[in-house]
Amino acid sequence: MGCLDDMLCKNLYSLSRQIIKINEQHLRHLEITYPQCLVLLMLKKQGNCYVDEISKELALDTGTVTPMIKKMIKKGLVEKIRNAHDERKVLVVLKPLGAEVAERATDALQSTVKMLDTNNHEIDLVIKLLNKIFKK
């Protein structure tokens, strides 16, 4: 694999950037970023989560997640609740507006999937392979 185009990492990087750019365009009308969308979808699927759980799931530093959560609070999408026994633990709770935006974001992200020249079986194979590589 001498050619840069044949390198797995380069191709994954390029694909990731392209998909994120397309997703951002589809989410613009909801006034959320793609990482904010991922937080909303995570909360919708899993329920309330601690900031450190969100950081781990999205592979983001807590220093990145915390300001993002603050912006989402200002938009009325989520709220945070400090643990009474350990104030360092902050629970992020999805508010009704956040649940509504998450639902609309799911529809918006389907537009990205439709743009890919693939079928559901191929997408499932890619997801399984990526999960195997990253051992999720």
Whole domain around residue 103: which residue ranges? 29-134
Average the pLDDT over each of 45-49, 100-104, 108-112 and give the range with the smallest value: 108-112
Non-local (6+) Cβ contacts of 126 within 8 A are 118
Beta-bridged to residue 79, according to DSSP, are 93
Summarize pLDDT for 89-98 with one digit per residue, the tens.
Answer: 999 999 999 9
C-beta of residue 27 within 8 angstroms of C-beta of residue 108: yes
Average pLDDT of every residue of the chain: 90
Q: pTM of whole model > 0.75?
A: yes
What would the mean pLDDT of 63-68 be, rounded to a whole number? Answer: 96
Q: Does residue 3 sit within a domain?
A: no
Check residue 2 and give its pLDDT: 53
C-beta of residue 84 within 8 angstroms of C-beta of residue 103: no
The yes-or-no verdict on residue 88 having pLDDT over 60 is: yes
Q: Does residue 6 sit within a domain?
A: no
Check residue 1 and give its pLDDT: 47
What would the mean pLDDT of 67-81 be, rounded to a whole number? Answer: 97
Element (H, E) at 82: strand 78-82
Here the CATH number for the domain that contains residue 43 is 1.10.10.10
Amino acid at 91: L
Q: Does residue 22 sit within a domain?
A: no
C-beta of residue 11 within 8 angstroms of C-beta of residue 101: no
Amino acid at 100: E
